[in-house]
Amino acid sequence: MSEQAPNQSLIWMIVLVAAAILFSLALACGMPFAALGALAALTLPKRDAIVFAGLGWLANQVIGFGFLAYPLDAMTFAWGIALCMSAFGAVVVAERAQDLLAGSNSLVRTAAAFLTAWAAQQGVVFIASLVLGGTESAFTASVIWFIFWTNALAFVVLLCLQSVGARIGLAHSLKGQPAIR
């Protein structure tokens, strides 16, 4: 990666956490963890991407319990932990895809980051539903399709935000891409 401003990762993480907060307010439990995880994997150092996943999840939980009146019961807390694991899973798998595709075209790496993050995030949620007794209606084709497109739209919006941020020096360029000047 090219030379970055010392606080660029911090600034970019603040922007991503702000986006997570806005998504949480707009979508409640429909937080696009896969989109956020993929973009973090594409733009942040690995450690920062993991930290961001935790911060994004925490912001979602604070909004859910503090403003959206999530119930204070064991099942809700268990689902919160499952969503945390799904957020971490999205980042880790998208990071791994980036490592495996290091020499590939930027478009391929970007698409792989999103698709693998989405698959990992949904996989963790599916496994959690088997353990926690989730409802079958949460995994109908129409629900999965809605979650996919919500994440895809959020990912495109975040990529646009990243592109603008990189141009003005507030965001990292996509990994493997030269810095935008």
Amino acid symbol at 167: R
Residue 172 counted as domain residue: no
Mean pLDDT of 53-69: 88
Residue 176 counted as domain residue: no
Residue 1 counted as domain residue: no
Digit-coded pLDDT (tens) for 102-122: 888 889 999 999 999 999 999
What's the CA gap between 44 and 74, in Å, rounded?
A: 34
Mean pLDDT of 25-30: 71
Q: Which domain holds residue 52?
A: 8-167
Q: Give the CATH number for residue 87.
A: 1.10.1760
> What pLDDT was estimated at residue 17?
77
Residue 132 counted as domain residue: yes
Digit-coded pLDDT (tens) for 151-167: 999 999 989 988 888 88
Mean pLDDT of 39-56: 90
Residue 126 counted as domain residue: yes
Q: By the 8 A CB rule, do 25 and 62 touch? A: no
What's the CA gap between 30 and 43, in Å, rounded?
A: 23
Higher per-residue confidence, 107 vs 20:
107
Residue 21 counted as domain residue: yes
> What pLDDT was estimated at residue 6?
54
Using a pLDDT cut of 70, give the percent of the chain over it.
88
Residue 161 counted as domain residue: yes
> What pLDDT was estimated at residue 91?
97
> What pLDDT was estimated at residue 28?
65
Instruction: Compute the mean pLDDT over every residue in the chain, rounded to the nearest whole number.
Output: 85
Higher per-residue confidence, 177 vs 100:
100
Number of domains in the chain: 1
Residue 175 counted as domain residue: no
> What pLDDT was estimated at residue 92?
97
Which two three-digit tokens encode residue 118?
């989405």
What's the CA gap between 174 and 23, in Å, rounded?
A: 22
> What pLDDT was estimated at residue 138?
72
What's the CA gap between 86 and 65, in Å, rounded?
A: 19
Query: Residue 2: is its pLDDT beyond 50?
Result: no
